[in-house]
Structure 1
């Protein structure tokens, strides 16, 4: 599924079928600045840079940052107990597996782990989803059609039927591309497991809470209980289709 290249204290992870000549410099934001290749960026704790690479394709570069109280002390350092235990290795491996299953995710391009004094820092590079807007962003602009809501429910069911667990399923991690196709992103702490109603229901409960949370944050937010019913009915129908 993936190849590991080690140079001194750095590990470069790339998919086995990659044709790209990826170097560790690709994980340095200044490298892209020097080439005037940064298209845009998203700031905040989940900061990301959108960069132009081979033939004007767009990739998303994300650094791993800690949250909570410990994040104030160790902003981006994690205890190193082996490469396969790192968050980035686990997320990158999962993305390669989901991509192989033909599930709609951001295609993994490469990841980087730098180890020093028993800790590590990490970055991940994925292919950008063309013209993507999040479900949260769309609902601030207008009510979605029944077809679009159903597409969200059906897409989540595709993942759940394959045993793909998303640790933070919320409306910021659900994207529409420019054609209306639905993708799930940010599989940090996710995994592949046996399909079971308990964790699947927990995922959907978390998603429902995120609609309510975001509705309270924005001046306009177009989502109703009826919309949820459309989404959940499409999800249940697709989940139980054999």
Structure 2
């Protein structure tokens, strides 16, 4: 595994942030790290001096924000607790450790070759004894989450099977390059339609850990993914035939990637 990319870390007043130096100058132009901008980005997810396009929210606010002077845009999202305890936390985190960990895990996996978005910065704002935080990656413009893409009624069966194989290949690379994703489901896989061939990205890395998962753990993650597709989408999308093809594609790709990394 490659060394993690260096991020610059700052703390000013009640604001803490870590940022990829490549983007630091551009984002300083719009007040990155200032108290007023931190409040705006973290609490509303809508920067006051940048145009932004709101995405459909998942666990909270999610925005597309252009980066001044660059061709890329940011995908900015709030970092929130999920699950049954989410209402108790009320949008807060206990500290900045989760933000730091996701930046470092995301960066290490991307440098190793895993299909994950490029991380840009994480920011946290102290709120009493707790923190509120947001996280930014480079926006992937021609993507759609796997459930939405697979459930498209206009999608031809052959193309759907190509997409399923692309998802299997991307998960195999993610595992082979050291990703363990205990919350792998169709909502945190993006199908990318922007290239000459379909591909897929793994997102929502806040619970991900680095270290090649064992065979049983890898297949538990795959079964979880299949259940999520069948539960939230059309149950016929993964028939016994396509499930077998999915697993076979995954195993072939995993072994190839593991051999390449040795």
Give the TM-score range, shorter chain.
0.7 to 0.9
Describe the SS at the equivalent of 1:79: coil
Give the paired residue count.
Answer: 235
Larger CA deviation: 86-95 vs 195-204:
195-204
Structure-2 change in CA distance of 1:127 and 1:221 (3 Å): farther
Alignment match, 1:97: 108
Q: Unaligned stretches of 5+ in structure 1?
A: none
- Report if aligned partners of 2:45, 2:63 keep a CA contact under 8 Å in 1: no
| CA-based RMSD | 2.4
Q: Does 1:43 align with 2:57?
A: yes
* Aligned partner of 1:193 among 211, 227, 237: 211
- Report if aligned partners of 1:27, 1:123 keep a CA contact under 8 Å in 2: no
Describe the SS at the equivalent of 1:50: strand
Alignment match, 1:214: 232
Q: TM-score, normalised by structure 2?
A: 0.80
1:133 CA drift (Å): 1.0
- Report if aligned partners of 1:139, 1:221 keep a CA contact under 8 Å in 2: no
- Report if aligned partners of 1:136, 1:171 keep a CA contact under 8 Å in 2: yes
Structure-2 change in CA distance of 1:193 and 1:65 (3 Å): same
Alignment match, 1:11: 16
Alignment match, 1:182: 200
Alignment match, 1:233: 248
Structure-2 change in CA distance of 1:159 and 1:67 (3 Å): closer
* Aligned partner of 1:167 among 182, 185, 190: 182
> Which has the larger share of helix?
2
1:7 CA drift (Å): 0.8
Q: TM-score, normalised by structure 1?
A: 0.86
| Distance across 2 between alignment mates of 1:47 and 1:92 | 19
- Report if aligned partners of 2:146, 2:186 keep a CA contact under 8 Å in 1: yes
Alignment match, 1:53: 67
Describe the SS at the equivalent of 2:66: strand
Describe the SS at the equivalent of 2:186: coil
- Report if aligned partners of 1:66, 1:74 keep a CA contact under 8 Å in 2: yes
